[in-house]
Amino acid sequence: MEKMIHQYKLNGYNIILDVCSGAVHAVDDLAYDAIALYENTPKDGLYKILREKYGKDAEIDECLSQIEELKQSGQLFTPDTYEPMADTLKKRTSGVVKALCLHVSHACNLVCSYCFAGQGRYHGKSALMSFDVGKQALDFLIENSGSRKNLEVDFFGGEPLLNFDVVKQLVAYARSIEKEHNKHFRFTLTTNGVLIDDDVIDFCNKEMSNVVLSLDGRKEIHDRFRVDSKGNGSFDLIVPKFQKLAASRKGRSYYMRGTFTHANPDFLNDIKVMLDLGFDQLSMEPVVCAPDDPSALTAEDMPVVFKQYEELAALMIQRRKEGRPFTFYHYMIDLQGGPCIYKRISGCGSGTEYMAVTPGGDLYPCHQFVGEEKFKLGDIWNGVSNTAVRDSFEECNVYAREECRTCWARLYCSGGCAANAYHATGSVKGVYKYGCELFKKRMECAIMAEVDRLYGDEDDDADS
Amino acid sequence: MKHIKTIKTRDLCESAKNGGCGECQTSCQSACKTSCGIANQSCENSKK
């Protein structure tokens, strides 16, 4: 059984992660070096190395006894005993669906050149979902949700507000049946903002637990890709609408969701623009596209992106201390109340508990597979008929990929995105290496920021 | 002196006992849609 720790230095902190217990330790230099050597160095050798660097035997003794205490209490060098559970969970959750991505519109009023969905049409014809198809999708969800109470439905596209009347009708229908089925629907909406008006804002505030608003940051970056059919940038049109919507959320979630590409690996500048515009719930995602696409991130972009992530974490800490906090989706981490081990090893749920529904009612493993005919699972009238594809997604857990089995981030990542893996390697059980590198850097930054939140003020007090 | 400060975290080994209710948010469902992990999800198990 693999015993694994991960240790790193960032922003003045020495951090040790005990991978399998989930424990996080902030340590001094002596403990940092001692923990690195502890499991693989005979005690005499360990003392010799530490004495040469740190001198005092008493300090070394004290440090080593603290390390041993943590080891004995299951917070350091914890072995991985979880692999058999991956199979158990699969059996326990087989056939249960709890979340749908409803593609209410395969049409869009923007023609963003980097769109993974082929300008909203998913490489097919333009289409809008009818109320009858959407209603059947909601019935399918309820019928297949077993004992799950919380059901999630994201209105997605294309641009879902091109079919806003159907969105409203579907929400009303779901609300009319959720109690009798002992279910609770959580709705979300992902929009480019062009059609936001007061009616949309009122509806979102009443019914949407989250709204995802697409904005790439700097005007010139946003308008490079996010244009209308005549090539006009959309920044000036949508920003005031987003500002009005965000201001009206009053404690409810919204996310400004940007995409960074090869054109703006320095995306912290885009985050700063979003902050200057008054937004404080932000998400910035690496582009999803073929490796030969001009927008694709390259090896040369990686160091730039890593630096952005580090500086972003430092900016978050600074703004929190100034009383002007903001959240960054990927840096939200709940170390005390986060997911249980089952969730951590079982993957994102695509193709099993989460599916996408096309305007015509076809089922796909997730929104990113829509239009890839060989991944079609079935439809909302007859359920899943392509069990081979479903089975391949059921097998996607953190132990299904050799690279994940030994990765320190596996219980934060859960094996990553099957669509990214497929697009990068041709297999849903492959690994998208750039994605892994970015994820690991984000986790290091997120955990460091959390350590600072818990201990940074204490250290500041001690300094003053 | 204290060489190690341990942050209070959920004990993952312990979470195996009552975990797996499946009520938590599907990882990719909102805000992300491309590159989500599970670390930022909240546990919704009422019996934990």
Q: Which of A225-229, A304-308, A390-394, A459-463 has the lowest mean pLDDT?
A: A459-463
Return the closest-CA partner of residue A120 out of A163, A156, A155, A158.
Answer: A158
- When CB atoms are compared, the residue of B6, B9, B29 closest to A354 is B29
What's the farthest any 2 CA atoms get from each other in chain A?
76
Residue A369 has pLDDT above 60, yes or no: yes
* Tens-place pLDDT, residues A330-368: 998 889 888 888 888 888 889 999 999 999 999 999 999
* Tens-place pLDDT, residues A80-125: 988 888 777 666 777 899 999 999 999 999 999 888 888 888 888 8
CB-facing half-sphere around the CA of A401: CA atoms within 13 A = 29
**Which residue on chain A is closest to B19 by alpha carbon?**
A340
Measured in degrees and rounded to the nearest 5, phi and psi for residue A186 equal -115, 120
Cα separation, A64 vs A1, whole angstroms? 23
**Which residue on chain A is closest to B7 by alpha carbon?**
A24
| pLDDT confidence of residue A236 | 98
Paired strand residues for A24: A17, B7
Return the closest-CA partner of residue A456 out of A101, A10, A2, A128.
Answer: A10
Put simply, whether A255 touches B (Cβ < 8 Å) is yes
Measure B43 CA to nearest chain A CA, in Å. Answer: 5
CB contact under 8 A, B12 and A329: no
Most confident of the following: A2-6, A155-159, B9-13 = A155-159
- Work out the mean pLDDT of chain A and round it to a whole number: 92
Question: Residues of A numbered 191-220 whose beta carbons fall under 8 angstroms of chain B's beta carbons: which are they?
Answer: 209-210, 212
Put simply, whether B47 touches A (Cβ < 8 Å) is no
Cα separation, A328 vs A312, whole angstroms? 9
Q: Which residue has the higher pLDDT, A125 or B1?
A: A125
CB contact under 8 A, B12 and A20: yes
Cα separation, A463 vs A134, whole angstroms? 60
Using DSSP bridges, classify how beta strands B4-7 and A24-27 pair: parallel, antiparallel or unpaired.
antiparallel
Put simply, whether A301 touches B (Cβ < 8 Å) is no
For residue A371, the one-letter residue type is G
pTM for the whole thing? 0.93
Candidates B29, B42, B47, partner chain A, best to mutate (most A CBs within 10 A): B29
Put simply, whether B11 touches A (Cβ < 8 Å) is yes
* Tens-place pLDDT, residues A239-271: 999 999 999 999 899 999 998 999 899 999 999
Return the closest-CA partner of residue A281 out of A215, A199, A352.
Answer: A215
CB contact under 8 A, B4 and A82: no
Put simply, whether B46 touches A (Cβ < 8 Å) is no
What is the dihedral sign for C-alpha A371, A372, A375, A376?
Answer: positive
| pLDDT confidence of residue A90 | 65
If you average pLDDT over residues A141-147, what whole number do you get? 96
* Tens-place pLDDT, residues A64-81: 999 999 999 999 999 998
Residue A173 has pLDDT above 60, yes or no: yes
Cα separation, A100 vs A353, whole angstroms? 8
Task: Output the six-digit token pair for A136.
Answer: 């059947």
A230: burial class by Cβ within 10 Å (0-12, 13-18, 19+)?
Answer: exposed
Percent of chain A at pLDDT above 70?
97
Residues in chain A, how many?
A: 464
| pLDDT confidence of residue A464 | 41
Residue A263: CB atoms within 10 A of its CB come to 18
Candidates B1, B2, B7, partner chain A, best to mutate (most A CBs within 10 A): B7
Residue A461 has pLDDT above 60, yes or no: no
Cα separation, A93 vs B37, whole angstroms? 20
Put simply, whether B3 touches A (Cβ < 8 Å) is yes
Residue A415 pLDDT class (50, 70, 90 cuts): confident
| pLDDT confidence of residue A387 | 93
Return the closest-CA partner of residue A422 out of B11, B12, B34, B21.
Answer: B34
Distance from CA of residue A110 to its chain's centroid? 25
Q: Is A182 left (phi over 0), alpha (psi -120 to 50) or beta?
A: left
CB contact under 8 A, B4 and A78: no
Residue A19 has pLDDT above 50, yes or no: yes
Return the closest-CA partner of residue B19 out of A92, A391, A74.
Answer: A92
CB contact under 8 A, B11 and A454: no
| pLDDT confidence of residue B13 | 87
